[in-house]
Amino acid sequence: MEKAPIVRLREVTKRFDDVVAVDALSLDIFQGEFLTLLGPSGCGKTTVLRLIAGFESLDEGEIVMNGAPLNGTPPNRRNVNTVFQSYALFPHMTIYDNIAFGLKMKQLGKSLISEQVDEAVSIVKLQGLENRKPHQLSGGQQQRVAMARAIVNKPQVLLLDEPLSALDYRLRQEMEIELKRIHRKLGITFVFVTHDQEEAISMSDRIAVMNQGRIEQIGTPTRIYEEPENMFVAKFVGEINIFEGRIIEVYNGSATVDIHGRPFKVLNRKNFSTGQHVKVLLRPEDLAVTRDEDSRPVSPSLGGVIDEVIYKGKTVDLIVSLDAGETIFVTQFFNEDQEDVVFRQGQRVHVDWPYGWEVVL
């Protein structure tokens, strides 16, 4: 992906009175990528989109598009289109006229408009509904009109502000797939905003995790999930277990951490030194649970008792009360070879994990 960025945000700051909505944020957006801004409510995602679209003016920094600064360029002269969460379709126009709006503003010829509208209509699969009014469509269909109305203008960058949040669960999953398909088909850059981490992980090429107007981490979904760089990202994206520990020995590239009095060998990516207090993070599916009755622990592990067993079909979720007092969450895959290994509430177990699967912060 060594392309030049199509949009660059450099140290962009935006304040509303005394609220800093976007705080010296820098971000490179590359041609053709599906970039997701993920973060809790109020962290400034919408404001970033509105700054790129030109609805808000920035207080500091600059936004560069195709190498030229955008400062002061009004929204109607930016090669960017937005899909709003509320869709905001024009209620007095037919679907056709809604989609044709941008082209009419550019004063294209009638036949050219009709050709391009037809194309957009077929991309979002709305054939046959062109003569209806927006209020005669379902939520999912209105969503598609909002998409078509934006993409018909062939923007370089399409901004989507939580476009799926008004849809119910089933429709939402369907639209996630549709959005990906449209993205692939058009090859244009998508900047997608959501506070739903599953949506972000399943759709994006890259995710920027935002918090309080800043980007905490940016990277591929796998990187964000497997190697969170800080506690905020670790906690915000997916379930995670956090153990307090202390480095007791350091080797070349690895280290030994004392967790509840047990020495665990971990990767030392961050050059921790002896005596340092650290947090060891483990995803539920990275932990291994063994029943004491099957085998006694040979390597360091944490003992505990099963508190709760939740069967999920392919997997089983366990809540384990550790002897040290904390409660952890573990997901185990069913092992076809050991169908008689059944977890039950109250069983004594020990928990460990393969070397290197942990994240130490």
Partner 1 sequence: MKKIFQSAYLAFIFLFLYIPIIVLVVYSFNTSRFSTNWQGFTLDWYRVLFTDGPLMEAFANSLIIALSSSTIATVLGTLGAFAFYRYRFLGRKIMYSFVYVLMMSPDIVMGISLLMFFITIGLSVGATTLLLAHVTFCLPFVMVTVYARISGFDRHIIDVAKDLGASELQMFRHVMLPMLMPAIIAGWLLSFTLSLDDVIVSFFTTGPSFEILPLKIYSMVRLGIKPEINALSAVMFLVSLLTVTIAHFFFAKENK
Q: Which residues here bind ligand ATP, judged by CB under 6 A?
A: 16, 19, 21, 39, 41-47, 195
Indicate the residue among 158 and 179 with the shorter CB distance to partner 1: 158
Per-residue binding string, Mg ion, 43-72, x by CB under 5 A, is ---x--------------------------
Give me the residue label for tokens 């808000």. Answer: 56
- Minimum distance of ligand ATP from residue 72's CB (angstroms): 19
CA pair distance 160, 180, nearest whole angstrom = 13
3-class state of residue 108 by DSSP: coil
Strand extents, DSSP E, the chain: 5-16, 19-30, 34-38, 60-65, 68-69, 80-83, 157-161, 189-194, 206-211, 214-219, 241-250, 254-259, 262-267, 277-282, 288-291, 302-311, 315-322, 327-333, 348-352, 359-360
Q: Which residues contact 155 (CB under 8 A, 6 or more apart)?
A: 79, 80, 81, 188
Closer residue to partner 1 in complex, CB, 155/228: 155
How far the first Cα of the chain sits from its last, in Å, is 29
| Residue 201 and residue 283 in contact, taking contact as beta carbons nearer than 8 Å | no
Which of partner 1, ligand ATP, Mg ion, none has residue 238 at its interface (CB below 5 to 8 Å by kind)? Answer: none
* Residue whose CB is less far from ligand ATP, 155 or 213: 213
Considering the complex, what minimum distance in angstroms separates the CB of residue 175 from Mg ion?
A: 18
Q: What is the CA radius of gyration of the chain?
A: 25
Residue 75 touches which of partner 1, ligand ATP, Mg ion, none (CB < 5 to 8 A by kind)? partner 1
**Residue 310 binds which of partner 1, Mg ion, ligand ATP, none (CB < 5-8 A, kind-dependent):** none
Minimum CB–partner distance for residue 169 and partner 1 (Å)? 24
- Nearest to ligand ATP of 43, 175 (CB atom): 43
One-letter identity of residue 182: I
The interface partner of residue 74, options being partner 1, ligand ATP, Mg ion, none and the CB cut-off 5 to 8 Å by kind, is: partner 1
Q: Would you tell me which residues interact with partner 1 (CB under 8 A)?
A: 53, 55, 74-77, 80-82, 84, 86-88, 90-92, 101-102, 104-106, 149-150, 153
CB of 46 or CB of 332, closer to Mg ion = 46
Residue 217 contacts Mg ion per CB under 5 A: no
Reduced to 3 states, what is the DSSP secondary structure of residue 85? coil
Residue 165 CB, shortest distance to Mg ion, in Å, is 9
Q: How far is the CB of 88 from partner 1 (least distance, A)?
A: 4
Q: What is the DSSP string of 59-81?
A: SEEEEEETTEE-TT--GGGSSEE
Residue 175's binding partner, choosing from Mg ion, partner 1, ligand ATP, none, with beta-carbon cut-off 5 to 8 A by kind?
none
Residue 82 binding result from ligand ATP, partner 1, Mg ion, none, given CB thresholds of 5 to 8 Å by partner type: partner 1
Q: How far is the C-alpha of 310 from the C-alpha of 7, rounded, in Å?
A: 46
Beta bridge partners of 303: 350
Shortest gap between Cβ of 10 and ligand ATP (angstroms)? 19
HSE-up of 211 (CA within 13 Å, CB side)? 12
Q: Quick one: CA dihedral 222, 226, 229, 231, positive or negative? A: positive
* 43 interacts with, out of partner 1, ligand ATP, Mg ion, none, CB within 5 to 8 A per kind: ligand ATP
User: Looking at beta carbons only, is 117 or 160 nearer to Mg ion?
Assistant: 160
Q: Contact at 8 Å (CB) between 256 and 230?
A: no
Contact set with Mg ion (CB under 5 A): 46
